[in-house]
Amino acid sequence: MPHQLPELGFSYNALEPFIDAMTMEIHHTKHHGAYVNNLNAALDKHPDLHTKSIEKLLGQLSTVPADIQTAVRNNGGGHWNHSFFWALLKKNENGEPVGELAKAIDSAFGSFDAFKEQFHKAGMTRFGSGWAWLIVNDQKQLVIGSTPNQDNPLMDISKFRGTPVLGVDVWEHAYYLKYQNRRNEYLNNFFNVINWEKVEENFLQAL
């Protein structure tokens, strides 16, 4: 079955003033929509791959036929990354991590403020386009890192691997209409729109 563009689960203006409605609509319908369409077009060349989940495709990317591997990497990565990202978004009014996640962040980074500083730095130091991530690695530890373009830590070809718990899109299309070149401001405001309950759910599943 062809991959489909998921619903956001909230209105395009729900994250105002931190992420504007026009950015959300274009990001969801145009950018994510294009990744889905391009992924399906690539998989049409090898129809048997339509039966694989996006997670399995990315986790076994090195085995995808060479003629579509780059298209699956870029567009499949874009589809998974954005689907994951939308589920993380909810205005939280300066909320903080909850439950076991909060304890794990304090243990791994020393404090929530120290975590914020490191996560912000991962987003700021990713040159060009890409993503910053909080993952659970093979040792069941929380680790912060980043990936270029639409790569993610699920990919078997990624240098930064693990199970994503939280991610932030630092492609310019994610923030340019409101923030122009001010990625720093966008990343600071991102902490106002993290659904920490969903992040904890991701954390517990990763364990």
Q: How far apart are CA 73 and CA 69, in angstroms?
A: 6
SS3 content of the chain, % helix, strand, coil (to 5): 50, 10, 35
Cα separations in angstroms, 123 against 44, 58, 114, 181, 205:
34, 22, 15, 13, 24
Answer yes or no: is 82 a known binding residue: yes
Question: Is residue 92 within 8 Å of 14, Cβ to Cβ?
Answer: no
Say what angle helices 112-124 and 183-190 make with each other, to 10 degrees. 150
Nearby residues of 67 by Cβ (< 8 Å), 6 or more positions away: 45
Provide the annotated binding site. 27, 82, 169, 173
Binding residues for Mn(2+): 27, 82, 169, 173
